[in-house]
Amino acid sequence: MAEALTLARPYARAAFSLARQGGQLEAWSRWLGFAAQVAVEPSVLQLNGDPRFDATQAVALYLPPDCESESLFARFLGVLAEVTRLPLLAVIQLEFEQLKHTAE
């Protein structure tokens, strides 16, 4: 878990910064929650590392229905997909929530 937290922390900080700058802390919290739930689904876990499952497909799978495909959040997911960090979304979400709580 410590390794996952170490890997996830910079992404959580980046997400928090983007959400805060855009005045969308609540939306990002909701979107990260959705994506984190997707990330732990057994059928999704099987897709990780599959070369046939590209970043565009991953973003489409992890993107919440109420989030635009051209949004900063979608681009954030794209970065996570490119650097194979989507499996860390549950840890990223927890760290994001801690940052949000501290800021409130």
HEC sequence for 12-77? HHHHHHHHHHCCCHHHHHHHHHHHHHHHCCHHHHHHCCCCCCCHHHHHHHHCCCCCCCCCHHHHHH
Averaged pLDDT, 52-74: 92
Residue 92 has pLDDT above 90, yes or no: yes
Per-residue confidence (pLDDT) for residue 1, from 0 to 100: 62
Convert the pLDDT of each residue in 22-60 to its tens digit. Answer: 999 999 999 999 999 999 998 888 887 778 888 899 899
Averaged pLDDT, 70-93: 94
Tokens of 93: 């979400």
Q: How far from chain centre, in Å, is Cα 82?
A: 12
Instruction: Choose between 48 and 19: higher pLDDT.
Output: 19
Averaged pLDDT, 53-80: 93
Q: What residues have CB less than 8 Å from 53, skipping those under 6 apart?
A: 47
Q: Between vectors from CA 67 to CA 40 and to CA 13, what angle results, nearest 5°?
A: 65
Give the domain 2-103 fold. Peroxidase; domain 1 (1.10.520)
Residue 71 has pLDDT above 70, yes or no: yes
